[in-house]
Amino acid sequence: MVRLTDIHPLTHFLRDPKSHLTRLAKSGRPEVLTVNGHARVVVQDAAAYQRMLEIVESIEVEQVIRTRLAELEAGMPAVPAKEVLSELKQRLAKPAGNRRKRTR
């Protein structure tokens, strides 16, 4: 959730980027930068962004596991662990934006 204190005009960011970068690093929260009152871009500290990517990756792994468990409970044939792990490896090798849900 974005806090009101994390929304700033782009011009303020451009005038004093150092203070914004310091705040980003300290808080770990992203800032929304606006142009003419409309949200245009989100900036985030690199460490916080990396943490977010790791969380997304964990969620994707959990989704694959939950899907496989639901398939077993529905009476579908079991998939060998090697195949599931191979699927996870392939999915995690792709950039987060290029990952698609597996279809059967």
Q: pLDDT tens for residues 35-66?
A: 999 999 999 999 999 999 999 989 988 988 89
Q: What is the pTM of this model?
A: 0.68
pLDDT given for residue 103 in this prediction: 47
pLDDT of 25 over the 90 cut: yes
Tallying the residues shown for the chain, one arrives at 104
* Count of beta carbons in the 10 Å neighbourhood of residue 31: 23
pLDDT of 96 over the 90 cut: no
Give how far Cα 11 sits from Cα of 42, 67, 71, Å: 14, 46, 52
Give how far Cα 88 sits from Cα of 20, 23, 66, 68, Å: 37, 36, 13, 12
Question: Sorting pLDDT into bands at 50, 70 and 90, what band is 84?
Answer: confident
